[in-house]
């Protein structure tokens, strides 16, 4: 078995994710040298064997990244193909930018375990290593799959499903016009097709732009403490804000009653907002204060609802669910806690410090499941490549529509876009598109 994909040049980030002193991007395949020559200074030599060169790599927008290039000429490399390792600063955005440049120059993102597969198929590994090679591929796939599942949780999956639905919709309308034109079905206009392409393209652009917004915002995560008066919010607020580093200040434009502090937990910065206890406002000042509290609550990425464990019931105003994900803390647990509460609630005592670590841990966990940037679907690298490719397909489809080409020329690129989305959404088959036609239109003579 020779490798039927051997003409492709593949690339991937080879260093572990996250910040590290050094980052590595690996490229392998017949076009390796050609791609790097175009981007690297000083000029690369085409010597046999192994060379290491220090220089800079040209990223777009006039940025040059310092890099050391380890070039292994075929067949004397791990994969037995031309292979290059780009060693640079271990900054995730920088590695991403390098990867993007390589992909733009015609490399393809490596499949899980593909470098190892190539090494094996090209005879660089022993036959008795088959098991090990298969295990590498299997494990890489599982790791990626796990990551993909995490990515696709909750409303992110919804976003992708919308995208998929939109593409299916446009494609099914075009295919209807092609394959069922001999029946009395309503054909959509070019204008409508273009409009739908534009809307879908815009959604993809939004998703691609969201890459700038990291899942954990650089500027911290907003946590708002809410709850009835005298539940012990302020005590908890002070306990959570590490007093030595806490900056307590008034927030401009809000009333003096909303107080902010920061806390760093497991490397994540949190902005804590203490709010006045919510209850029926009895006077003007109180109403103003509570308006501010409500505003703060709206901005919350996480709401920390603090309840008085010694109370007998949860006040009505806190029963209704809120926009932001909510963690419930039943406070004052140094005393008896007669308050009936959900099992997921955290029992704590701001006074004794009991349960504080559980709150901190819950906050970090909550951040990990937060929809990034609060609304957008932040694609991972593979998804991003797929989305970018899908977007170029949509742009070509729109050009074809604008030029009034026959629907099959528009459809060819829409199918291309759908093919790209397969990486994120799983298979969309021709039969799915046909199924949509059969479901939406009365077909059949």
Contact residues for another protein, defined by CB under 8 A? 1-5, 7-8, 111-114, 117, 120-121, 127, 130-131, 133-135, 137-138, 140-141, 175, 178-184, 403-409, 411-412, 415, 427, 429-431, 433-435, 438, 442-445
Scanning 210-260, the segments in alpha helix (DSSP H) are 233-240
Residue whose CB is less far from another protein, 160 or 259:
160
Residue whose CB is less far from another protein, 111 or 286:
111
> Chain centroid to CA 345: how far?
28
Closest distance of CB 202 from another protein, Å: 25
Residue 37's contacts (CB-CB under 8 Å, 6 or more residues apart) are 43, 44
DSSP conformation letters of 269-321: EEEEEE-PPP----SHHHHHHHHHHHHHHHH-SEEEEEEETTSSS--GGGTS-
Residue whose CB is less far from another protein, 218 or 427:
427
Closest distance of CB 37 from another protein, Å: 23
The upper half-sphere exposure of residue 168, i.e. CA atoms within 13 Å in the direction of its Cβ, equals 23
Residue whose CB is less far from another protein, 340 or 435:
435
> Cβ–Cβ contacts within 10 Å for residue 295, how many?
16
Closest distance of CB 312 from another protein, Å: 54
Closest distance of CB 53 from another protein, Å: 32
> Cβ–Cβ contacts within 10 Å for residue 129, how many?
15
Strand 302-308 and strand 221-226: pairing?
A: parallel
Residue whose CB is less far from another protein, 193 or 261:
193
Determine the Cα–Cα distance for residues 6 and 208; give it in Å rounded to an integer.
29
Residue 334, token pair as written in the block? 């140094």
Residue whose CB is less far from another protein, 304 or 421:
421
Closest distance of CB 44 from another protein, Å: 27
Residue whose CB is less far from another protein, 135 or 361:
135
In 3D, which of 211, 206, 270, 281 has the Cα closest to residue 242?
270
Closest distance of CB 228 from another protein, Å: 52
Determine the Cα–Cα distance for residues 428 and 434; give it in Å rounded to an integer.
11
Residue 260, token pair as written in the block? 């902010």
DSSP 313: S
Closest distance of CB 149 from another protein, Å: 14
């Amino acid at each position: 078995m020779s490798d039927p994909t051997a003409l492709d040049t593949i690339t991937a980030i080879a260093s572990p994710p996250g910040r590290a002193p050094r980052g590595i991007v690996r490229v392998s395949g017949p076009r390796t040298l050609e791609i790097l020559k175009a981007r690297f200074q000083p000029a690369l030599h085409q010597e046999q064997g192994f060379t290491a060169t220090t220089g800079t790599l040209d990223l777009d927008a006039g940025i040059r990244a310092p890099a050391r290039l380890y070039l292994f000429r075929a067949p004397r490399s791990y994969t037995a193909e031309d292979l290059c390792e780009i060693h640079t600063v271990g900054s995730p955005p920088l590695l991403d930018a390098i990867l993007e440049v390589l992909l733009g120059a015609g490399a393809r993102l490596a499949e899980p375990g593909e470098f190892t597969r190539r090494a094996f198929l090209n005879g660089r590994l022993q036959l008795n290593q088959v098991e090990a090679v298969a295990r590498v591929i299997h494990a890489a796939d599982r790791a990626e799959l796990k990551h993909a599942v995490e990515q696709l949780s909750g409303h992110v999956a919804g976003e992708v499903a919308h995208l998929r639905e939109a593409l299916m919709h446009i494609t099914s309308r075009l295919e209807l016009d092609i394959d069922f034109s001999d029946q009395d079905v309503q054909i959509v206009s070019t204008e409508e097709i273009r409009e739908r392409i534009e809307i879908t393209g815009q959604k993809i652009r939004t998703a691609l732009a969201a890459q700038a917004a990291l899942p954990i915002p650089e500027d911290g995560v907003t946590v708002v403490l809410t709850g009835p008066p005298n539940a012990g919010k302020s005590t908890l607020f002070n306990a959570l804000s590490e007093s030595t580093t806490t900056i307590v200040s008034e927030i401009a434009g809000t009333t003096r009653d909303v107080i902010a502090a920061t806390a760093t937990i497991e490397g994540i910065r949190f902005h804590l907002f203490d709010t006045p206890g919510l209850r029926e406002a009895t006077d003007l000042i109180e109403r103003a204060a509570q308006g501010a509290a409500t505003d703060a609550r709206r901005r919350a990425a996480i709401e920390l609802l603090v309840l008085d464990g010694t109370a007998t019931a949860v006040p009505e105003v806190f029963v209704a669910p809120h926009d932001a994900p909510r963690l419930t803390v039943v406070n004052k647990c140094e005393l008896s806690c007669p308050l009936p509460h959900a099992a997921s609630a955290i029992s704590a005592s701001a006074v004794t410090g009991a349960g504080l670590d559980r709150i901190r841990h819950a906050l970090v966990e909550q951040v990990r499941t937060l929809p990034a940037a609060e609304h957008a679907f932040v694609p991972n690298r593979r998804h991003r490549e797929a989305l970018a490719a899908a977007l170029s397909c949509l742009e070509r489809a729109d050009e074809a529509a604008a030029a009034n080409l026959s629907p099959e020329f528009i459809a060819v690129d829409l199918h291309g876009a759908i093919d790209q989305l397969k990486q994120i959404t799983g298979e969309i088959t021709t039969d799915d598109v046909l199924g949509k036609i059969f479901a939406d239109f009365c077909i059949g003579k």
